[in-house]
Amino acid sequence: MNGKTILIFLLGVFVSGLVFAGITFFSQKSAEPVSIDPLAVGVAQASAPKSEDTPLFVALLSLSPDAHSVFYVVKRGDNLTRIAKNNHVTAELLKKINPLSNDSLKPGSKLKIPVYKFSLVVDKSQNTMILKGGEEVLKTYVVATGQNNCTPAGVFKVTDKLVNPTWYKAGAVVPYGSPQNVLGTRWIGLSKKGYGIHGTTEPEKLGRQITAGCVRMRNDEVEELFGFVLPGTEVTIVD
């Protein structure tokens, strides 16, 4: 074996060694535990934004700091319901923002809490409803309103909230789940007796004036809205 052949052989051995060392190094690195940023995990677990969500709405529901939220450090003895009540928001919204799979809280952890005053504006001429935070438009929903413009105009308040509501209509009680129950999955009652915002079994009819006077929404959207409003939330209905 001449000198040139020996040199080529040794070079091949050297390169093979480098390749093997590289594979071993990266294999070990991939096996090491990865440090995960809890904030990043929280954002990843949150619902993906929809096309109709405004940047303000997306920012509100993320764990990132924004100008309309504060962070609260959980203290021993705290519970989610009390924190929500003290900050004039729903526990459902806090669970969605942070996000929490249950009501359990760990002392020392941080909760992002919105400081917006939420309100609703229903425009009967456009069959839309706007969720507002202060003077900011957070999201616009397509709704159905009363036929022949019968949905009352004015400024009202949310009075009650029901999950899987029973429909009490003239001469009948229609339980949730019945095909004849038109209320869908949520009811948000208004201070105008007999009127409210609710889901629907006929989402294809939204965007029209076809109801007996109430405001109808898609079930998934009224469920979303349910987490923003409390008894006392202002609802303005305009012609």
Nearby residues of 115 by Cβ (< 8 Å), 6 or more positions away: 68, 69, 70, 87
Nearby residues of 67 by Cβ (< 8 Å), 6 or more positions away: none
Of 238, 52, 229, the residue nearest 145 (C-alpha): 238
Tokens at residue 64, please? 């990132």
Residue 212's SS3 state is: coil
Could you identify the residue written with the tokens 């999201």?
A: 139
Of 186, 72, 66, the residue nearest 134 (C-alpha): 66
Could you identify the residue written with the tokens 């022949």?
A: 148
**Per-residue b or e along 28-39, where b marks 16 or more CB atoms closer than 10 Å to that residue's CB:** eeeeeeeeeeee
Q: Is 214 a catalytic residue?
A: yes
Of 108, 88, 86, 110, the residue nearest 97 (C-alpha): 110
How far, in whole angstroms, is CA 6 from its chain's centroid? 69
Q: Is 198 a catalytic residue?
A: yes
Q: Which of 68, 88, 150, 214 is catalytic?
A: 214
Q: Which of 68, 88, 150, 198 is catalytic?
A: 198
The number of beta carbons lying within 10 Å of the beta carbon of residue 69 is: 19
User: How far, in Å, CA of 11 to CA of 112, rounded?
Assistant: 60
The set of catalytic residues is 198, 214
